[in-house]
Amino acid sequence: MAPRGDSVNGIEIKEEHISIAQFSPATATVVNASLIISPLEESGAAAGDHAGDFNALKPNLKKLVARMQAEGQDAIVSVPGDFAVVKKLMLDRDETNVREAVEWELSQQIIGSMDDYVFDFEISAGDGSDVKWCLAVAYKNAGVQKIAGLLRASKLAPVAVDLDMFALINVFEANYPDLCPSPAIIVHGRDAATTLIKTRSGSFVDSETLAHPSGLSSPDSYAELVREAIEQNFQDALPGPVFCTGAAFAQQDFSDGFFSRLNNSRLLNPFATIQSRIEIPEADLTKCLPYLSVAVGLAIRGAE
């Protein structure tokens, strides 16, 4: 496999899996992707023995980076949106020091000091009113530094950290441009929690996280859980499309059962429109797709 010197790597690191996607901006193509499922178990340790310990994931991340010949390349990595402070803030249109104003507004939403957080924001498109809106995000600095340090230890060059749910909006917008103008729901199903993300025109609108620490018992009960949450929180998005991704949809029988019970739901395919030359056997690709959406969305964002 030839080195891919111009590639940007999107990386999702969780105790459940580590996934990486290499995107070439020059060709607008995902040139390779790979993943390790249950990385702690593969290293001979139970996940509970190292909960929250990024160092325990280092051996498998280094192995994955070497396998992809990604050493020295730029990387953008995700952190879970569940633990971020995400707020839509209203500011005076003539506000000159937006960053200071955003920091003050965020300081009213957190516990502790803003010195313990990193934050960023994006100004929304104007609507002609006397105010302007921005989407602001704050995250514990210690968590960002740990995951960035893990990338450096694996011979990658971290250039940005983003929320997993924003990466999913990126990959949805890139693959389904015809559906973007209307509201849509992205279901990010993991082992212990599911995040519902409402998006419109490629922008984050709102989100809701559902905890299920005991796991998912059946596609019927899971579909009902998601249906009720959408109806309660995102009624105005119905009957728009529901796109599903994450580990909960990696088992074919389970995901098929879920889709048959939740109207207008389907698998989010990170390669529906985006070109790819990934070196995953065709027989394994379907079960890998739910693990790769975040990584592909990150790689696209990193290329920008």
Residue 127 confidence (pLDDT): 58
**Is residue 117 very low, low, confident or very high in pLDDT (cuts 50, 70, 90)?**
very high
Helices 282-303 and 164-175: crossing angle, nearest 10°?
A: 100
For the cut 90, the answer to whether the pLDDT of residue 240 exceeds it is no
160 neighbors 78 (Cβ within 8 angstroms)? no
**Lateral strand order in the sheet of 275-276:** 157-163, 74-79, 8-13, 17-24, 29-37, 275-276
Residue 125 confidence (pLDDT): 65
| CATH 2.40.37.20 is right for the domain spanning 178-267 | no
56 neighbors 50 (Cβ within 8 angstroms)? yes
**Is residue 126 very low, low, confident or very high in pLDDT (cuts 50, 70, 90)?**
low
Task: State the pTM of this model.
Answer: 0.91
**Is residue 7 very low, low, confident or very high in pLDDT (cuts 50, 70, 90)?**
confident
Residue 116 confidence (pLDDT): 95
Count other Cβ atoms within 10 Å, centred on residue 102: 23
- Alpha helices, H only, the chain: 39-42, 58-67, 98-107, 141-153, 164-175, 219-233, 252-261, 282-303
Percentage of the chain lying above the pLDDT 70 cut: 92
**Is residue 42 very low, low, confident or very high in pLDDT (cuts 50, 70, 90)?**
low
C-alpha to C-alpha distances, 161 to 52, 139, 170, 206, nearest whole angstrom: 17, 10, 14, 20
Mean pLDDT of 263-273: 94
User: How is domain 82-140 classified at the architecture level of CATH?
Assistant: 2-Layer Sandwich (3.30)
Mean pLDDT of 260-278: 93
For the cut 80, the answer to whether the pLDDT of residue 276 exceeds it is yes
Q: H or E stretch including 120?
A: strand 117-123
State how far the Cα of 105 lies from the Cα of 161, in Å rounded to an integer: 22
The CATH superfamily holding the domain 8-79+147-169+273-303 is ATPase, nucleotide binding domain (3.30.420.40)
237 neighbors 185 (Cβ within 8 angstroms)? yes
Count other Cβ atoms within 10 Å, centred on residue 186: 23
Look up residue 178 and give its amino acid: D
Domains 8-79+147-169+273-303 and 178-267 share a fold: yes
For the cut 90, the answer to whether the pLDDT of residue 133 exceeds it is no
Q: Does residue 239 have a cis peptide bond before it, meaning omega lies within 30 degrees of 0?
A: yes
For the cut 70, the answer to whether the pLDDT of residue 119 exceeds it is yes
Residue 2 confidence (pLDDT): 38
Residue 137 confidence (pLDDT): 96
For the cut 90, the answer to whether the pLDDT of residue 22 exceeds it is yes
Per-residue pLDDT of 65-91, as tens digits, reads 998 899 999 999 999 998 899 999 988
Domain residue spans of the chain:
8-79+147-169+273-303, 82-140, 178-267
Mean pLDDT of 128-154: 89
For the cut 80, the answer to whether the pLDDT of residue 218 exceeds it is yes
Mean pLDDT of 264-279: 92
Residue 207, beta-bridge partner list = 197
Per-residue pLDDT of 160-185, as tens digits, reads 999 999 999 999 999 999 999 999 99
Min mean pLDDT across 31-35, 170-174, 283-287 is at 283-287
For the cut 50, the answer to whether the pLDDT of residue 102 exceeds it is yes
**Is residue 132 very low, low, confident or very high in pLDDT (cuts 50, 70, 90)?**
confident
- What is the pLDDT of the chain when averaged over all its residues? 88
Percentage of the chain lying above the pLDDT 90 cut: 69
Q: Which residue has the higher pLDDT, 136 or 281?
A: 136
For the cut 50, the answer to whether the pLDDT of residue 1 exceeds it is no
C-alpha to C-alpha distances, 142 to 79, 242, 298, nearest whole angstrom: 12, 34, 21
